Amino acid sequence: MLKFLLLIFISLLLFISCGPRPDELSTAEIAKEKEEIIATIKAFNKAMEQERFEGLVPYLSEDVIFFGTDSSEIIKSLSDFKKAITEQFNAVENLTYGEMSDVSIQMDSRGTLASIIFGIPTTYKMVGAPSPESYFFRVNRTLKKEGGKWVIVSGIVSIARTGKPIQQEP
């Protein structure tokens, strides 16, 4: 009887220790969180195309920090972001994003902090310019879970340069 109880105890201990910790997400939950992260980024990009600051706010953390493609573009607060994005909206027209590619998402095991990096073709026309220009942006965003939803905490954008703008397929 003692051997039987010992065997049950060891089996339970082994079963419990080999299972996922209660605070860690399952593989299916991780996949779902990654889909939500991509949806957040796509919604943010859509609001950028629509040039609506108020449409961007739900996807941003209060303590946001951004680094832009220009060395002077350092944004350390929501009010800095509003000023910079308003200037951008006044200087750029017809901003459009293509499909994200080379998407990589890294996330902590509890689904509270994540990093996404991706490439995205981008076309825009500077106000007063004769024609639009197309570029391939490389984008990195750090997101955290706030109030049950993913929000952008930080980001950096770079332009992959080939010496000339990329050509969009018709």
Condensed to tens digits (0 to 9), the pLDDT of residues 18-56 reads 655 668 999 999 999 999 999 999 999 999 999 999 999
SS3 78: helix
Let me know if residue 30 belongs to a domain.
yes
Let me know if residue 167 belongs to a domain.
no
To the question of pTM greater than 0.75 for the whole model, the response is yes
The whole-number pLDDT of residue 6 equals 60
Let me know if residue 138 belongs to a domain.
yes
The whole-number pLDDT of residue 108 equals 96
Q: State the total domains in the chain.
A: 1
Let me know if residue 15 belongs to a domain.
no
The whole-number pLDDT of residue 22 equals 63
Indicate the residue type of 139.
Answer: V
The whole-number pLDDT of residue 67 equals 86
pLDDT band at residue 7 under the 50/70/90 scheme: low
Let me know if residue 12 belongs to a domain.
no
Is residue 127 a contact partner of residue 38, using CB atoms and an 8 Å limit? no
Let me know if residue 72 belongs to a domain.
yes
The whole-number pLDDT of residue 68 equals 75
Domain of residue 119 covers 26-160
Distances from the Cα of 14 to the Cαs of 17, 19, 23, 103, 113, in angstroms? Answer: 5, 9, 19, 37, 30
83: domain CATH number?
A: 3.10.450.50
Indicate the residue type of 55.
Answer: G
Let me know if residue 13 belongs to a domain.
no
pLDDT > 70? residue 163? no
pLDDT > 60? residue 169? no
pLDDT in tens, 106-136: 999 999 999 999 999 999 999 999 999 999 9
Let me know if residue 18 belongs to a domain.
no
pLDDT in tens, 62-110: 889 998 777 788 899 999 999 999 999 999 999 999 999 999 999 999 9
The helix (run of H) or strand (run of E) holding residue 17 is helix 2-18
